[in-house]
Structure 1
Amino acid sequence: MLETLKNSLLTGVGMALRSKKEIETFAKEFAEQSEMNQKEAKDFLEECKKRYDDAKSSLDKKVEEVVESVLKRLDLPTRKDVDTLNARIDELSKKLEKDA
């Protein structure tokens, strides 16, 4: 039962949406209330931190993928495209000034 509760509380999205400090506080309180020994509590806290980092990293990656996908569908110019166009404009402006 305790293991099931621990696992359900450590699900990915739930972990990623909380701050690391909240997770540490929760883990410490949970360890105290469940009367874990010191090693179990330390291991549990480390597991919580690792799962938090993994969940946050996974969520960050997913968000980045979604943003990239949306931008691609919008067919917006990239920063590189804009820089290339600006360089070309500068080049043509200099040529016009020289020819004038």
Structure 2
Amino acid sequence: MIDLVKKAMLTGIGVASLTKDKIEDIAKDFAQKGKLSEQEGEKLVREMVSKTEESKEELKKQINTMVEKALAKTEFVRTADIEELHGEIASLRKEIEALRNGKTT
């Protein structure tokens, strides 16, 4: 019975969008209707919270991968790249100034 309830919850509601409170509410509703024992309800909540967290992490990884791929295909300049260039420019300015003053670094 608990497997059927889990499948129904996973099918009916996106796992990544479930909150612990929502999972607890659904489990309590099933328990009140006599479809789950208290122990089955608690087990269901633990398992669903765990699966929700796993799904959220996997979704984050997939999104990050997709964003990285999209950025790699564009000519988008990252802040880190700009900061690196600023450092190189500052270094070159110092060298130019030293050469103008007759000094070498």
- The TM-score bracket by the shorter chain reads 0.7 to 0.9
Question: Radius of gyration: which is bigger?
Answer: 2
Which fold has the larger relative contact order, with Cα–Cα distance below 8 Å and residues 6 or more apart in sequence? 1
Match of 2:9 in 1: 9
Q: Does 1:28 align with 2:28?
A: yes
Q: Which residue of 2 aligns with 1:68?
A: 68
Unmatched runs of 5 consecutive residues or more in structure 2 = none
Structure 1 residues 7 and 86, CA gap change in structure 2 (3 angstroms): same
* Secondary structure class of the residue paired with 1:39: helix
What is the total number of aligned residue pairs between the two structures? 99
Percent sequence identity over aligned pairs: 27
The CA deviation string for residues 21-46 of structure 1, in whole angstroms up to 9 with x for no partner, is 32332233233334422211111111
The 1:41–1:93 alpha-carbon spacing in structure 2 relative to 1, beyond 3 Å, is same
Higher share in helix:
1
Aligned to 1:77: 77
* TM-aligned CA deviation for residue 8 of structure 1: 2.7
Structure 1 CA distance, aligned partners of 2:61 and 2:43? 27
Residue correspondence of structure 1 range 15-54 to structure 2 within 5 A: 15-54=15-54
| TM-score, normalised with respect to structure 2 | 0.73
Equivalent position SS for 1:10: helix
Q: Distance in 2 between matches of 1:97 and 1:36?
A: 79
1:15 touches 1:23 (CA, 8 Å); kept in 2?
Answer: no
1:91 aligned residue:
91
Change (3 A) 1:97 1:28: farther
